[in-house]
Copies of this chain bind each other. A is one copy, B any other.
């Protein structure tokens, strides 16, 4: 078991000005922890050649694996390559595939490539080049004087797939055997964090491996189970046992494992029943529909929706009766039920869901910001509507309404 020391260096003045948080270091640390690689330091240094060089020099003395994010772009501010070259005197070469990709990008855009873009295709001789499937600059893994250096772009969506698909497998191979940590998350909704912790207290108290930690989330609560073992098989067995114990107690609130989302669960439940869904969205303005369409294959269960933010659209497209609007208002149980029933019929679906309410900051029809009605109506005649009062600003009210909509569907469909 050769335990290796790693550190993460982020290069970028924008971090030192506080314009963004170093979430890259957080995410990479999580991934390394799961692979059993200890992280000893995070550092952030600005776009300054001497200071980046000095940070690299220090890292070369104290760590086995050094992961560097940022500073690989085309501009004069991007100095990661230059600083590493000053440290190692390694030769740089043009990486053909990357250069071809950059040139082709500019051809497709019918834009002239400015000379500074060529810099992004420059890699260290002997480096393992990691293809960038999202942006321009490739990543690199360089071995130098027994140390492993990993260079990654600072843009998270370019960096993350490189870590998952290349860096972790490469590091695991290089470091050989080490103690394995495996972790899983169980996702719950409809039960509070303290209630969940209370129900699970006997299990939590008797456990040390795996450990069980409740975490408040935007979408309900999660339980993280973390097991250590010599082999991944043993670690996974430990997790499986604890998972079964937990689900025996509070399984009815569990909608998913790891990164499974509530909308994915609703998608699956609809698919199992061979049902389709249609949405009428007022204050949520398309956010509910967007989350379903984000799932590949959504068309199998999602017919579509009407964003009826304007009252005229409620009347003219959704055909809400003028009497309902006059007598009950658009923010009412009656209107929510008609919206759900009519969108279901209009889009010829099994279930209709509707959202109407006051996102704020202003009141509507004398109702306070945060007041929201959500209704579901099914083809076989079930209908339910509920009133909610959500705290927070406009964005929070809209987000909470959408999550609650999925919770209502989850509770209805799981039966």
Residues of A in contact with B (beta carbons under 8 Å apart): 13-23, 25-33, 38-46, 51, 55, 58, 73-75, 77, 108-109, 111-114, 116-117, 133-134, 155, 157, 183, 192-195, 197-198, 213-216, 224, 226, 279, 281, 283-290, 292-294, 296, 298-299, 302-310, 312-313, 316-317, 346-348, 359-362, 389, 391-392, 394-396, 398
Contacts and interface: CB of A to CB of B under 8 A. Distances in A.
Contacts of A46: 40
Smallest CB-CB A-B distances: 9 pairs: A285-B293, A286-B286, A18-B29, A18-B30, A286-B289, A42-B44, A305-B307, A286-B290, A304-B313
Copies of this subunit: 2
Contacts of A284: 290, 293
A237 to B, nearest CB: 21
Looking at chain A's contact residues, is the secondary structure mostly helix, strand, loop, or mixed?
A: mixed
Contacts of A23: 21
Contacts of A362: 296
Contacts of A348: 312, 316
A287 B293 CA distance: 9
A279 B226 CA distance: 46
Nearest to A185: B19
A228 B117 CA distance: 30
Contacts of A111: 192, 195
Nearest to A292: B285
Nearest to A113: B194
